Structure 1
Amino acid sequence: MSSTQGTPLDYDVLVIGSGAAGLTLALQLPSHLSVAVLSKADFESGSTWMAQGGIAAVLEPDDSAEDHIRDTLVAGADLSRPEAVSHIIHEGPTSIQWLIDQGVPFTRENDHYHLTKEGGHSHRRIIHAADATGRAVHSTLLQRATEATNISLFDQHVAIDLITRRKLRLPQNRCIGAYVLNSRSGHVQAFRAKQVVLATGGAAKAYLYTSNSDGSTGDGIAMAWRAGCRVANMEFNQFHPTCLYHPQAKSFLISEAVRGEGGRLLLPDGTRFMPAFDERAELAPRDIVARAIDHEMKRLGCDCVYLDISHRPAGFIKEHFPTIYQRCLDYGIDITRDPIPVVPAAHYTCGGVMTDSEGRTDLEGLYAIGETAFTGLHGANRLASNSLLECIVFGMAAARSISNALEQSQFETVELPHWDESLVTNSDEDVIISHNWDELRRFMWDYVGIVRTTKRLQRAQHRIELLLQEIAEYYSNYRVSSDLIELRNLATVAELIIRSAISRKESRGLHYTLDYPKAAQERMDTVLSPLNFQWPDSVR
């Protein structure tokens, strides 16, 4: 690896992240603007690509925005912001029509789009492309971006840190770009931009078991935090109730739509158990279903529970869940005959970088959209299939805001210093990175998981402080790699999750603690600010 390559690459807009949110924003920008879109891995990766269920929107006359808003607020345990919920849901039909216009092949039934129902929803309102909606959306938008002459796509490019005027000791702080590692060449390249967008997804990889891809390491949240932005509600980590339990099935999700179409959760002896926990049974919100499964697994000492949809016709199952059917069949499970072994797994980060209704953060020139952002939509628990909806709505809103900002303002070109590697060496102890990664994910699962206690959280806090010190020392002395960048970001986000969880003295939504089992009367977001945040001395 050598130092930064030559002159910075210049763009009007730099989009860090290539999922549904980032690609929507890039495609919505005027064609005269130059746009760079970065993907840390291959483009056919990430949370959007893996999303199965669909997108929630009001698309039928017997449904209403008011019902969708109510369902979202109920799932969010009274912590969602009503104005944000109303805005996003009212924009839903427009967003879906835009996706249709782009060519997304949503599943049709006769002369209508087929809509399914998922947990927490009072109506069938989930539009989908069989059971691979994310892939259909992502591949369509990626093709449109490839065809756009103003959009440059960079895969295998890992953002290291944002560049701000304050870091360069210049007045009038704002974001002016980012340092980025080209994983193929090993070079660090500066990208300079008038507007920067974080669309890097969530941080579910902080946990040992997750439905997410390896890239869900909270990069955007960590970079924004280091640049001075506030984050909110990081304690609300959604655990999807049903991930395939199989030694060879890494991170494979069994869509909520399986339960929406009649799938029943069973104990190893075949007994159905969800009706004892909630009158909505398998269609209760995810936090309730995940806690019920966790409770039964611990009570019985079993490794998994089972999701059974074999009572539905085989043709129906194969038509509606072709991806799940084939993947399970590859592991010797015929879901038309056999129940599916499932366990809960970390799935979605409901908190994130605080933004306004257009995706703007605390830092001028920096936007955050998608799972990276805290918009107020999800509250203490995300309603199923609202995530892709939020990506599209905020991708469009942020694009409008950026376009207006670039039309109305002049931007000074700032000379960017090269990435300094003069005082670091190549590491000969990469085993430290893998060891720290494994330790972090294990204690987060054990101590900051589905059910929490104050003692467990304090243990996690002690361990993360030690890890942060060790990672900071390592980062200061060795050349960066993609693994080191991700570990540094993941440790930062884990610290934010732990501190947020410790500060919430109640159980609400996804945050359940045995020490405070009831919800408090006062409803408050957990907001952390870098300005009053105390790091360990050796980490500053």
Structure 2
Amino acid sequence: MTHVVVVGSGVAGLTTALELVSRSGVEVTLVAKARLDQSNTAVAQGGVAVVTSAEDTLASHVADTLVAGAGLCEEDAVEVLCADGPSAVAALIRRGVPFDRAGGKLALGLEAAHSHERILHSGGDATGAAIASALIARLADSPVAVRENTTVVDVVVESDRATGVRLLGGEVLSADAVVLATGGAGQLFPCTTNPAVATADGVAIALRAGAVVADLEFHQFHPTSLATPGNHLVSEAVRGEGAVLVDAAGHRLMTDVHPDAELAPRDVVARGIAEQMQRQRGAPVRLDATRLGARFLAERFPTIDAVVRSQGLDWSRDPIEVTPAAHYVMGGVRTDVWGRTSVPGLYAVGEVACSGLHGANRLASNSLLEGAVYGSRVSEAILGRAEALADFDSDWAEPIALDVEPGDEAFGRTDLQQLMWDSAGLSRDRAGLEDAAAVLAAWAPPAPIDAKSAEDANLWWVARAVVASALAREESRGGHFRRDFPETHPVEARHSTLVAVRHA
């Protein structure tokens, strides 16, 4: 192994690159389509879920993750995350991440669907930014070659193996292994907590390379984004500290929806809010954090506090309006627990990957941990230091053949986003999904002549895959809710897999 290309600069990509060069001295090139600090990691607020106290157990963390995953988690992937979590966090600390402390110990917080206080934070609600900053600083002191503001268009596949990446403009970076760490797909929708770079690139690139993708119908909508332009995330941790959701009349609405009220799984809370908004003719619900007080809100949630106050609001005195927004995709490029995909030489890690870890609904604050844990494992697999690996396990399901023959109609990104919000958002049904499939099939993805057109083409590819997956799953489970199939059926406790086919 002489050269590895890592695509993406969040915690998953940064960890992979740093682990590779620290353990082996192989040549590593990290490619970021924007600045290194523009990633989902950099804006993540909630924290890192990991067992660090004697009162907590790995078994409890595993159990909570399985429950949130709504019967679709792969237990081996969950056990790897929880067991390797403490060592991954120790590595983050060695690399300079300043996790918050109380009384000389790591400060622990509680978030929805966790049975113990186990959430680590840094700078209150700036955990992702702290992790990104620390890892980028370590990257600067490493031999990793960095290419910022550089768009990867495709993986080069020769003799059924990934041999490099093709950049916008035609340049090819040859490699012995390619790692996709491109993050999420929030820009499929008009309302999202994700930054502008989250345009589903890795999934689209993998589809074009012939890789299997999985579970793309499961998209998590964060219950509470600020109902102002930009949909700034209002962290789950705010509800963990005691804030409550109220309707227009001031009634606490989630107590009527789920026994865990505001701390129910995210999909439950998000749909509870959406249904109440329908009853209120689209008006947002309100998050009441007034009982927490101005000083606590400013110290515990400095980033959110600053954003809220910049909108002319005082959330220590008045409840703030919130609405659900696209937040995290549980599906992605199908991988095993070592990050290998169905294409030899091609790996995926972080939100772009789907090992079955999150099942149908990610447990809060498991995503940053996933990037740290699985970034290390991918480096082990690439370097051949993992335990003896069998061939890639492709027996989840026979992939659905996704016909991606393009149409001939031009489209705008806002058109695609609104189509996906209306037909494949928080709730779906067959009629809406079939209409969306027909519209998408009539559209033609733009040629990648610049970064935006490359992103728009990727959004088209992945939108088609999401709609096909959502049509195939005739039940409701986790982040996938079908109005025409509102129940969860045990027989459907299986993964969905897709592979793209194109006409000659």
Common topology (TM > 0.5): yes
Unaligned runs of 5+ in 2: 389-408
Structure 1 residues 266-275 or 155-164, which shifts more?
A: 266-275
2-structure distance, mates of 1:176, 1:280 = 49
Alignment correspondent of 1:425: none
User: Contact between 2:9 and 2:37, CA under 8 Å: does it hold in 1?
Assistant: no
1:205 paired residue among 165, 182, 187: 187
Separation of aligned partners in 2, 1:372 and 1:76: 17
Q: How far has the Cα of 1:11 moved from its partner?
A: 6.7
What residue is the counterpart of 1:416 in the other structure? none
Task: Kindly state the Cα deviation for residue 251 of structure 1 after the two structures are TM-superposed.
Answer: 3.6
Structure 1: any 5+ residue segments left out of the alignment?
A: 1-9, 166-170, 182-186, 409-431
Q: Offset of 1:190 from its aligned partner?
A: 1.3
Q: Is 1:95 aligned to residue 88 of structure 2?
A: yes
Mapping 1:113-512, distance limit 5 Å: 113-129=106-122, 130-148=124-142, 150-165=143-158, 171=159, 173-181=160-168, 187-247=169-229, 250-404=230-384, 435-467=411-443, 470-471=444-445, 474-475=446-447, 480-512=449-481
Which residue is equivalent to 1:26? 17
Q: Which amino acid aligns with 1:392?
A: A
- Aligned residue type for 2:218: F
Contact 2:234–2:304 (CA<8 Å) still a contact in 1?
Answer: yes
- What secondary structure sits across from 2:325 in the alignment? strand
Q: What is the rounded CA distance, in whole Å, between the counterparts of 1:81 and 1:356 in structure 2?
A: 10
CA distance in 1 between counterparts of 2:31 and 2:6 reads: 6
- CA–CA distance in 1 between the matches of 2:315 and 2:20? 44
TM-score (norm. length: structure 1): 0.86
The letter of the residue matching 1:44 is D
SS at match of 1:241: strand
Between Structure 1 and Structure 2, whose CA radius of gyration is higher? 1
| CA displacement 1:122-142 (0-9 Å, x = unmatched) | 111100111010000001000
User: Residue 414 of structure 1 aligns with which residue?
Assistant: none
Q: Distance in 1 between matches of 2:197 and 2:82?
A: 28
SS state at 1:343 partner: strand
Shift of 1:252: 1.1
User: How many Å apart are 1:101 and its aligned residue?
Assistant: 1.0
1:78-89 matches, cutoff 5 A: 78-89=71-82
For 1:16, give the aligned amino acid. V
Q: Is the 8 A contact 1:30 1:403 kept in 2?
A: no
Partner Cα distance (2:320, 2:59) in 1: 35
Q: Answer yes or no: is the 8 Å Cα contact 2:113–2:364 preserved in 1.
A: yes
Corresponding residue SS for 2:195: coil
Identity %: 42
* Secondary structure, aligned partner of 2:237: helix
Q: Give the letter aligned to residue 110 of structure 1.
A: G
* More off after superposition, 136-145 vs 337-346: 337-346
Runs of 4+ in 1 over 2 A off after TM superposition: none
**2:21/2:28 contact within 8 Å kept:** no
Q: Supply the AA of the counterpart residue of 1:115.
A: L
Question: CA RMSD for the aligned pairs?
Answer: 1.7
Task: Write the deviation string for residues 136-170 of structure 1: whole angstroms up to 9, x where unpaired.
Answer: 0001000000111x2011110010011110xxxxx
Moved more, 266-275 or 225-234: 266-275
Q: Tell me the distance in 2 between the aligned counterparts of 1:11 and 1:449.
A: 43
Give 1:521's aligned amino acid. Answer: P
Task: Note the C-alpha offset of 1:405.
Answer: 7.6
Distance, in Å, in 2 between the alignment partners of 1:126 and 1:198 is 27
**2 CA distance for matches of 1:290 and 1:110?**
35
- 2:39 aligned to which of 32, 35, 46: 46
Question: What SS does the aligned partner of 1:73 have?
Answer: helix
State the one-letter code of the partner of 1:466.
A
Asked whether the 8 Å contact 1:11–1:192 carries over to 2, the reply is no
- Give the length in aligned residue pairs: 479
Which residue of the partner structure matches residue 485 of structure 2?
516
Task: Check whether the contact 1:15–1:199 (CA below 8 A) recurs between aligned residues.
Answer: yes
How far residue 339 of structure 1 moved from its aligned partner, in angstroms, is 1.3
